[in-house]
Copies of this chain bind each other. A is one copy, B any other.
């Protein structure tokens, strides 16, 4: 785009701002799109039938007439669109009809004129648009056009501006993407042309942020191009300022001091049983934290055997993090003292801020934090755990089983569920963090810390919103290449109610936006709380697969069928069995057993059959992952099966062979013990479920694909 064009657009928008215009007129909207190279049909505004006839004569028939009125949003419904006008006679009659319809539509309707447009038809009808999302900012959208877009809501979103690869990827991301490549002898559409339009729209809203919504609807895409027939641009000159985002190195430095502190102050430490300040003290001490603990209390000399201080400022040494356990009203004052003491982090357990309507009180904390460079966790949280420092900076029950999963939750209840599940399943964690109101520290800060935390191998986050979705997407895209990120986005259904003035806006149901952006950032989305927890537990246990070929070995044909279903649901590839491998498996199984995939060894087989087939599957390089279906029999009891599997895996590991293995155990209650034994030995295993083990393997694959590890 020329500087000239840029100046023209600037003037259009400045004039609109001065005039208080919320929706640009079609001429201005076209001008902006044309400047960015969006192909449009010839077009003009007529204020009389004569003018319309003159324009149509210039463009050539057929033409379309469309009402132009600030009062009429859905032109078709108002009888304001007449297409397929083939002659001047038809045009004059159509002009009168449209004006009459508009006048009937609403008393005192304001009519700007009638748009005369060269008629474009044929090809596939699609829609390209842009919206401004509360969490993610500018987004581009692409979807199926026409009435189907509203009925099927077949649309996909990406952060704006979109790269050419993003744009091309969007064409493949809609459900009906096959329509674009050509079906039953129909030609495919010009993908480059469509991608070009998507990129242009992304640049427009990025270059001119006051453009809050943009609709190109419909666009007719053919094999030789794409033309946007209608343009709609909505403006918003009062956008909220972007959330403050510290520099990466600052985040890393501060988060390391907060999560792995050398010294912790407890503001509101208490000796009184049942008080939050007492629970925090006990958790720190009994959890085995080896750093310094400074109880802060206005009068006490000692708390839980440790010398107490009136203020953090009275402490001589350096303090890395202050845990707050005082009423909301006293938090701001104490936070200032933390600032003066140059403590880099405050863990704000107290509630009574934005979640209860006290938005100003929370804003005050944010401002103090910014003024003194204190990062804030919370308020309204349970605190956090960092097990590798034996640190339980929380009033909830202590938990110190070390492992490689870092979990966080926006909600306290979900945090407690994480602790309970972890203890019950014996899941080792590196950290559990409550983020609550997320006045400052949020999911991307945690990702930035866990990215470089040597104790963390998988990150699982529960959230209801993202305060800065753009920062999250950016950081997650990078981190997910190294460590799996699992997200449970709650509140999938709250967005429908939000009013929107454009089609794209109406389609931007919160959840579809999150779904697309998270997937594009390489984040594995958990559908349920149990999924989040099972994936956090299972994904780090599994080695990373080196290819897509999955094989099922099962003693129960029925489990094999259900495991196959689950593989299809999870997008896993059931390896097409090569003849030689098929023959090799057949040597070990009864003649009526089924080789192929699943390998059905049949139910009455001794341990040797399981052993031989599993060994073969581990040895053959063409097989990348293994799903086991066990059937409880007297001949191969559950623990015999479990022990033999672990033995084989250990032997193979000694030979340098590791592959992801998961197992489904069908049988009487002894299979529960066998499943736990297998899990403890690196094989995620589940009793009475054929789906969960496959989902866990599926999650590992989603990550490996996103991280580019499968080629």
The chain A residues found within 8 Å of chain B, CB to CB, are 74, 76-77, 79, 147-148, 150-152, 175-176, 178-179, 183-186, 274, 351-352, 355-357, 396-397, 409-414, 416-417, 419-421, 423-424, 462, 464, 488, 490-494, 527-530, 533, 554-559, 561-562, 564-566, 568, 591-592, 603-604, 629, 631-632, 634, 666-669, 671-672, 687-692
Within the assembled complex, what's the spacing in Å between the Cα atoms of A312 and B628? 42
Contact B183 A529 (CB under 8 A): no
29 A-B contacts, Cβ less than 8 Å apart? A77-B184, A79-B185, A148-B176, A148-B179, A152-B175, A351-B604, A355-B557, A356-B592, A410-B558, A411-B556, A412-B603, A413-B603, A413-B667, A416-B632, A416-B666, A416-B668, A417-B559, A417-B688, A420-B667, A420-B668, A420-B671, A420-B687, A490-B561, A491-B561, A491-B564, A492-B565, A493-B564, A493-B568, A533-B688
Contact A530 B692 (CB under 8 A): yes
Starting from the known contacts A414-B559, A417-B559, A529-B562, 18 additional A-B residue pairs (CB-CB under 8 Å) come to: A150-B183, A152-B176, A409-B558, A412-B631, A413-B554, A413-B631, A413-B666, A416-B632, A416-B668, A417-B666, A417-B687, A419-B667, A420-B666, A420-B667, A491-B565, A494-B564, A528-B566, A530-B688
Inside 8 A of A562's CB, which chain B residues have their CB?
414, 488, 490, 528-529
Contact A490 B668 (CB under 8 A): no
The 7 closest A-B pairs by CB, nearest first: A411-B558, A413-B556, A356-B592, A417-B666, A413-B631, A77-B185, A413-B666
Q: Give the shortest distance, in Å, between A72 (CB) and chain B (any CB).
A: 12
Contact B688 A420 (CB under 8 A): yes
Within the assembled complex, what's the spacing in Å between the Cα atoms of A355 and B602? 10
Within the assembled complex, what's the spacing in Å between the Cα atoms of A222 and B629? 53
Contact B568 A414 (CB under 8 A): no
Contact B414 A668 (CB under 8 A): no
Within the assembled complex, what's the spacing in Å between the Cα atoms of A210 and B436? 67
Identity of the chain B residue whose Cβ is nearest the Cβ of A355 in the assembled complex: B592
Contact A416 B667 (CB under 8 A): yes
Inside 8 A of A554's CB, which chain B residues have their CB?
413
Count the copies: 2
Identity of the chain B residue whose Cβ is nearest the Cβ of A554 in the assembled complex: B413
Identity of the chain B residue whose Cβ is nearest the Cβ of A150 in the assembled complex: B183
Inside 8 A of A355's CB, which chain B residues have their CB?
557, 592
Q: Give the shortest distance, in Å, between A322 (CB) and chain B (any CB).
A: 22
Identity of the chain B residue whose Cβ is nearest the Cβ of A425 in the assembled complex: B688
Among B152, B411, B492, contact of A568 (Cβ-Cβ < 8 Å): B492
Identity of the chain B residue whose Cβ is nearest the Cβ of A398 in the assembled complex: B668
Inside 8 A of A528's CB, which chain B residues have their CB?
562, 566, 689-691
Contact A152 B150 (CB under 8 A): no
Contact A669 B529 (CB under 8 A): no
Inside 8 A of A412's CB, which chain B residues have their CB?
556, 558, 603, 631
Q: A76-B184, A666-B420 are in contact. Are A490 and B558 (CB under 8 A)?
A: yes
Q: A184-B74, A490-B558, A533-B688 are in contact. Are A668 and B397 (CB under 8 A)?
A: yes
Contact A424 B529 (CB under 8 A): no
Inside 8 A of A411's CB, which chain B residues have their CB?
556-559, 561
Identity of the chain B residue whose Cβ is nearest the Cβ of A633 in the assembled complex: B416
